Amino acid sequence: MPEELDDCVHTHPIPADEAQRYSPVRDPDSEQDIARYVELEADDEKVLSAEKIRTDHVQGDQYDIWDVVTDKGRWWVITNITNLYSQTHFPSLDYTLSFHIGLMARLMSRNTRLEDFDPDPFNEVSRRWDQAVSRSELAVEVEDFQAIGMLLRECLLSLIEALRRMLPEAIPEDEPKAADFRAWTNIFFDHLCPGRSEKELRSYLKNTAEKTWSLVGWLTHARTANRLYSRIITQAVDTLLGHIMQLVYREKSSKIEVCPNCSSHDIRNHYDMSVPPDGAGYSTCGSCNWSDHPDAENRAALKRLG
């Protein structure tokens, strides 16, 4: 005998794109970011809904977990570093999170450079650093390790060239010589870390750059150069590159760190390719939904209507 239904029971599931509208806690800008990511990674699939399930913290790292429904299937999307997993093959969320954390740890252990940056400006820098690392694995004689010092020197000078292209506004009229690494890093750190509030950071970075440059020069001529020295100095160069890349990323992205509407520090950065002429970055507040998107007022009005 068929089960009797009352007026409070749905006889069919709510479509994913409709159900998403009734979520009590939404972040439309982050949903849009995740939807774009899935549509880029999953060929010929259109995202119907993207719902943030939860946020987990493991050893100080934050992982946002999303449940994404497309017209052809369903995916888990986990951030830091963002990756997607088919729910057909990964039905257990806890297992998927553990798998993701392990996979990202292995990837990071294989490559300590920052992968979140646009690779184009630093292509030559990365290539020269890779050459030094590859040479280090095969080095045996003193001359081999000295050659690693030369590669690292060229890596640092190519970094200066990349910064000159990316930060032309920082270049003074009286330019230092192209190979004056200390002078150029002082100029760029003054530009990237301005003001009294960043005095200590600026001092640390200048000292780090100077000491790293000195170590690289020493390795180039050291008659006692060996594998340990080359590894330590290669890692020192890698650390300096990471510092500078993070500062450039901050310079080129939104500088907003505190919401002007509610003073929250929960600022989230996004990118909208539909903003003319070539797309643009913008920020939102996770606390009050403030946004500095160029079309923020119209977008807010559409949300209210929706």
| Stated pTM of the model | 0.54
Give the pLDDT mean for 184-188: 97
Residue 36 binned pLDDT confidence (cut-offs 50, 70, 90): confident
From 82-91, 117-126, 278-287, the region with the lowest mean pLDDT: 117-126
Name the residue ranges covered by the structural domains of the chain.
14-110, 122-252
Please state, in angstroms and rounded to a whole number, the distance separating the CA atoms of residues 258 and 193: 18
Is the per-residue pLDDT at 112 higher than 80?
A: no
- Residue 217: which of 170, 261, 271, 152 has the closest Cα? 152
Q: What is the pLDDT of residue 149?
A: 95
Beta strands in the chain (DSSP E): 47-58, 61-70, 74-78, 83-86, 267-272, 280-285
From 19-28, 189-198, 254-263, the region with the lowest mean pLDDT: 19-28
- Encode pLDDT of 277-288 as tens digits: 656 667 888 888
Please state, in angstroms and rounded to a whole number, the distance separating the CA atoms of residues 276 and 187: 33
- Encode pLDDT of 47-79 as tens digits: 999 999 999 998 878 899 999 999 999 999 998
Structure-block tokens of residue 65: 């977990």
Give the pLDDT mean for 160-187: 93
Is the per-residue pLDDT at 117 higher than 50?
A: no
Is the per-residue pLDDT at 119 higher than 50?
A: no
SS3 of 302, please?
helix
Phi and psi angles of residue 297, each rounded to the nearest 5 degrees, phi first: -65, -45
